């Protein structure tokens, strides 16, 4: 198990940073109620970890520039239960052979608006691991733009939405701009009530990007009659020397499986929970970090 040096960024009325890593620089300024962060990670044999902690505020608007120098490894964890409107705008640059891991396990209130926009630029041999778990809100927007700029850059991402909210939009744009880059995207949604969840995943492969590998899969599970899921995969391939695949499917729970569970004395609500956990388990297992995998599994259990 890897040992990480945790640093704390707390968003309160009295904003503060606690940094325990000599290889991590965090600076900030507050302008017109916007918190602007600059985060720089340098190489260390012990990777750096940042935990985000939020206390009650009237609103939260954060703009962050994240820079990983060559061979640096940075892990960012957000486990907040937000009861306020939030807006995160991130721009990250991954230097050669660096690794950025971003884990979000967020619960929102049903009457809030929450936005997360991230643009990530990857250099030679760098890797971005991106995992997002959310229960949605009145309006939730997740937008991620990935630029695989140099050889052997790699993106692995997985999104899980378990929504009772009115609207949750998820957009992912992956651009293969160099040879031998890899992208692997997974998205699953479980909708209840009158929630409306959408996912649009676009993969673009430039004409000079031979030896490209890309996989995208999106699936939806509708629990209630009035809930909606819209999945839109888009591929734009301009080179023949690629291995690209995509798949999208949504539907209701298998009644035969639910009947089988009921015949074993399991209540309808418990049967649905078991079904949902099974539906989402394959994506949770994509997380390599055992600690983060457990957090994902616990999030699903708590929100079934």
Q: How confident is the model at residue 100 (pLDDT cuts 50, 70, 90)?
A: very high
Closest CA to 287 of 60, 101, 23: 101
The answer to whether the beta carbons of residues 44 and 23 sit under 8 Å apart is yes
Report the C-alpha gap between 300 and 78 in whole angstroms.
Answer: 16
Residue 56: predicted pLDDT: 66
Q: Which of helix, strand or coil describes residue 20?
A: coil
Residue 104: predicted pLDDT: 98
Residue 70: predicted pLDDT: 98
Whether residue 303 is predicted with pLDDT greater than 60 in this model: the reply is yes
Element (H, E) at 82: strand 81-82
Q: How confident is the model at residue 10 (pLDDT cuts 50, 70, 90)?
A: confident
Whether residue 102 is predicted with pLDDT greater than 50 in this model: the reply is yes
The answer to whether the beta carbons of residues 207 and 245 sit under 8 Å apart is no
Q: pLDDT tens digits, residue range 123-179? A: 999 999 999 999 989 999 999 999 999 999 999 999 999 988 789 999 999 999 999
- Stretch 194-201: mean pLDDT: 95
- Stretch 216-221: mean pLDDT: 95
Whether residue 40 is predicted with pLDDT greater than 50 in this model: the reply is yes
Residue 1: predicted pLDDT: 43
Whether residue 209 is predicted with pLDDT greater than 60 in this model: the reply is yes
Residue 5: predicted pLDDT: 66
- The Cβ of residue 54 has, within 10 Å, a number of other Cβ atoms equal to 20
Residue 132 makes CB contacts below 8 A (sequence gap 6+) with 102, 104, 106, 116, 142, 157, 158, 159, 160
Token readout for 62 is 């954060």
Residue 220: predicted pLDDT: 96
- Stretch 75-91: mean pLDDT: 95
Q: What share of the chain is helix, strand, coil (3-state, %, to 5)?
A: 15, 55, 30
Q: How confident is the model at residue 261 (pLDDT cuts 50, 70, 90)?
A: confident
Residue 19: predicted pLDDT: 77
Average pLDDT, the chain: 92
Report the C-alpha gap between 174 and 244 in whole angstroms.
Answer: 12
Residue by residue, DSSP assigns 185-251 as EEEEEEE-TT-EEEEEEEEEE-TT--SEEEEEEEEEEE-STT-EEEEEEEEEE--SSEEEEEEEEEE
- The Cβ of residue 111 has, within 10 Å, a number of other Cβ atoms equal to 12
In which residue are the tokens 């949604």 written?
189
Report the C-alpha gap between 154 and 216 in whole angstroms.
Answer: 14
Token readout for 74 is 């940075």
- Stretch 199-211: mean pLDDT: 95
Q: How confident is the model at residue 115 (pLDDT cuts 50, 70, 90)?
A: very high
Residues above pLDDT 90, as percent of the chain: 72
Strand partners, 144: 118, 172
Reading across the β-sheet that carries 34-41, which strands appear in turn? 24-31, 34-41, 60-68, 86-94, 113-122, 139-148, 167-176, 196-205, 228-237
The answer to whether the beta carbons of residues 7 and 296 sit under 8 Å apart is no
């Amino acid at each position: 198990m890897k040992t990480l040096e945790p640093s704390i960024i707390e968003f309160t009325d009295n904003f503060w940073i606690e940094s325990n890593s000599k290889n991590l620089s965090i600076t900030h300024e507050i302008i017109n109620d916007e918190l602007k962060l600059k985060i720089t990670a340098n190489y260390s044999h012990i990777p750096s970890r940042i935990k985000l902690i939020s206390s009650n505020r009237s609103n939260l608007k954060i703009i962050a520039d994240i820079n990983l120098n060559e061979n640096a490894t940075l892990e960012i964890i957000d486990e907040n239960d937000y009861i306020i409107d939030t807006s995160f705008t991130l721009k990250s640059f991954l230097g050669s052979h660096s690794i950025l891991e971003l884990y979000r396990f967020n619960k929102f209130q049903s009457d809030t608006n929450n936005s997360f926009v991230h643009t990530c630029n990857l250099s030679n041999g760098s890797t971005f691991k991106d995992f997002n778990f959310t229960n949605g809100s009145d309006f939730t927007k997740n937008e991620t733009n990935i630029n695989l700029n140099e050889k052997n850059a790699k993106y692995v991402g997985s999104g899980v939405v378990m929504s009772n909210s009115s609207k949750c939009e998820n957009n992912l744009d992956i651009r293969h701009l160099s040879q031998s880059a890899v992208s692997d995207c997974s998205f699953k949604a479980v909708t209840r009530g009158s929630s409306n969840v959408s996912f649009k995943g676009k993969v673009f492969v430039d004409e000079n990007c031979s030896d490209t590998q890309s996989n995208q899969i999106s699936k939806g599970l509708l629990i209630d009659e009035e809930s909606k899921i819209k999945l839109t995969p888009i591929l734009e391939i301009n080179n023949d020397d690629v291995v690209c695949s995509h798949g999208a499917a949504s539907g209701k729970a298998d009644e035969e499986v639910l009947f089988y569970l009921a015949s074993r004395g399991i209540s309808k609500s418990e049967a649905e929970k078991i079904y949902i956990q099974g539906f989402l388990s394959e994506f949770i297992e994509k997380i390599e970090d055992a600690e983060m995998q457990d957090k994902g599994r616990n999030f699903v259990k708590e929100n079934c």
